Every structure is written in C-alpha cells, then in structure tokens.
Amino acid sequence: MPTPLPGLPERVTIYEVGPRDGLQNEKATIPVEVKAQFIERLVAAGLRTIEVTSLVHPRWVPQLADADVLLRDLKRADGVRYPVLVPNERGLDRALELGVADIAIFASATETFAQKNLNRSLDGQLLMFEPVVRRARAAGLAVRGYLSMCFGDPWEGQVPIEQVTRVGRQLLDLGCTELSLGDTIGVGTPGQVQALLGSFIDAGASVGTLAVHFHDTYGQALSNTLAALQAGVTTVDASAGGLGGCPYAESATGNLATEDLVWQLHGMGIDTGVDLTELARTSVWMSEQLGRPSVSRVVQALSQ
Ligand code: MG
C-alpha cells in the first residue's frame, strides 16, 4: 500500500533518456532494429516522453549515426512524445525534414565544458542556439534546453549558483519551453538542489518549466530527486535500467535508473503511468542485448 509523503505532486512526468543519453556512449554498435524495439517496449511500459536519438554529426557520436533511419522507421504511438537532440541549425534542418515535433538542445553552465563539448564560450553557445530555438519555435516545435554541469564541473569544481541561474534564464528567454538542470557528474546534494531551484524561481522561472537530470555517481540521485519534488518540480529525467555513464566522471555510474525512480514514486502514491514490471523486463531484455547486467538496483531486485 503506497504511503504518501506530504507536499509532493500527485503525478510526475518521467522524461526517459535511455535510447539517447543511455546508449550514446556504448562502444559496440547496437542495431537500429534493437533501438526501435527498445523504444517501442518503453512505450508499452507506459512511458510517454522518450528522447530517442540525436541528430549530431556521426563523427562525434558514432552510436547514433543511424538517427535518420531510426526516425524514419520508428512506429509512433498516439499521445507519446519522441524528442530528438539537435546540436545546431544543420541538425534542426534534418529534424524538420524528418517531421520531428520535439527537440532538445544541450548547453553548458560552465565555461570549460562549453569549450570542451561545444567549442564555444559560455556566451558563444547562446549565439549558436539562438537561431535553432527561434526557428524551431516558429515551426511549432517544443524545445527543451539541457543545462549541464549545474552542480559541479570536473575542471572548475563547484559552479556559482548565480552563473547557473543566469545561463538557464538565458535559455528560457531564447524560447526554450522546458529547462532540464543536469548534475552531469553526480556530485550534487539535496540542499544544493533546493537552493538552485529557489534561485530559478526567484529569477522568475516557472517551476513547471523546470526538469531535473540527476546522475547517481555519488549515490545522491534519488535524494536529489525528492528534494526537487519538494520544491515543486514535476518532470524528472531518468534512464531505463540506469543506462549511460558520463564520460567526464571517472568510473561513473550514470543516469538515475527509471525503475529506481518509479519504485520511489509509486511507494509514495505518486502516479507515473509506468508499469514497473514491464519496464524492468524491458531493461533485462536490453541488458541481454548489451551483454551485461543492468546497474539498476530495482531491476536487480525484481529479477532475482
Ligand atoms: Mg545523463
């Protein structure tokens, strides 16, 4: 019997990142049919927002070089959103040609990561994203802005909260319809989470436009999620089976596992629309495709 904790939302939207963020750093090429089946199984398990791939140049992310084929052949279900990561205007052109309705852009909260990941300065990245967001919105697309390194950066250490808020605010001002605050190296703790969310709300951001993206590198992802829910956030990123590490965090356990998140939410009586048994089965199937067990504690517990 679920036991509610006061002050939390009745329903949480899970933004599933497994097929993109989860698989993008896999070394062995995964057949496009397996990716499509993975996405279809996630839909069958009740997920309603699934980031499916990235239209980045194949040189940078070889695993997602099949994005065009995947987007062309994927069977889509009614009421499901299938966002695609778009790095620049060329990616947006491809997204528009392929009939994509939801895109995401990936920005950095720190100068060093903006340089390393985007070859841009902190302000320069916004110049690059401005036409992408403007044209996407004019075409009727929803645009999610990812903001990475919000709670710490492997080169710069702790990141000033004012800086994170300023860059995130700029992304919302460009026209992003949602902003996902990422703890890319998984170092954040709950007090930091509530302080950052409070700073965004003080800066005029509506809490309904904010999402959180936690990594479990230091075992803090679920605690941080609970802190975010207490602050009013209702959209949480997670990756089925905990797929995906961060290449910048040594030995990173990566994304918060969707199953671990669902276990916590359902335990508190919060609706997600997800069938946990079906989802865990999907992750077991995917782990067989990848040839190693899922890192999700809930997947492990349920498949004993
Ligand atoms: Mg991630």
What are the tokens at 113?
């990561």
249 band by pLDDT with thresholds 50, 70 and 90? low
Q: 20 CA to middle of ligand 1, Å?
A: 9
Overall average pLDDT of the 212-217 stretch: 96
At 278, phi and psi to the nearest 5?
-65, -40
Q: Which of 132-146, 197-211, 232-246, 261-275 has the lowest mean pLDDT?
A: 232-246
> What mean pLDDT value characterizes the chain?
95
Q: What is the pLDDT of residue 246?
A: 58
Domain-embedded: residue 4: no
**Do strands 13-16 and 235-238 pair parallel, antiparallel, or not at all (unpaired)?**
parallel
Overall average pLDDT of the 259-288 stretch: 98
Question: Which residues carry out catalysis?
Answer: 246
pLDDT for residue 304 is more than 90: no
Give the tens place of pLDDT for each residue, 62-78.
999 999 999 999 999 99
Number of domains, the chain: 1
pLDDT for residue 129 is more than 90: yes
Domain-embedded: residue 5: no
The residues with which 107 forms a beta bridge, in sequence order, are 147
The DSSP code for 114 is I
Q: What is the pLDDT of residue 247?
A: 59
Give the tens place of pLDDT for each residue, 139-173.
999 999 999 999 999 999 999 999 999 999 999 99
pLDDT for residue 83 is more than 70: yes
* Helix 122-138 vs helix 89-97: crossing angle, to nearest 10: 20
Range of the domain at 230: 13-302
Residue type, 160: P
Domain-embedded: residue 157: yes
Q: What is the pLDDT of residue 10?
A: 98
Q: 213 CA to middle of ligand 1, Å?
A: 6
Domain-embedded: residue 6: no
Q: 204 CA to middle of ligand 1, Å?
A: 26
b/e per residue 84-104 (b: at least 16 CB within 10 A): bbbbbeebbebbeeeebebbb
* CB within 8 Å of 159: residues ≥ 6 apart: 109, 110, 149, 150, 151, 152, 153
Domain-embedded: residue 3: no
Q: What is the pLDDT of residue 248?
A: 58
Domain-embedded: residue 8: no
The residues with which 211 forms a beta bridge, in sequence order, are 180, 235
Q: 1 CA to middle of ligand 1, Å?
A: 31
Domain-embedded: residue 46: yes
Q: What is the pLDDT of residue 252?
A: 53
What are the tokens at 202?
């003080």
Overall average pLDDT of the 90-100 stretch: 97
CATH number of the structural domain spanning residue 163: 3.20.20.70
The predicted model scores a pTM of 0.97
Q: What is the pLDDT of residue 28?
A: 87
1 band by pLDDT with thresholds 50, 70 and 90? confident
Question: Reading across the β-sheet that carries 53-54, which strands appear in turn?
Answer: 13-16, 235-238, 210-214, 178-183, 142-148, 102-108, 84-85, 53-54
Q: What is the pLDDT of residue 25?
A: 85
Overall average pLDDT of the 11-40 stretch: 96
Q: 302 CA to middle of ligand 1, Å?
A: 24
Q: 132 CA to middle of ligand 1, Å?
A: 22
27 band by pLDDT with thresholds 50, 70 and 90? confident
pLDDT for residue 250 is more than 70: no
Domain-embedded: residue 7: no
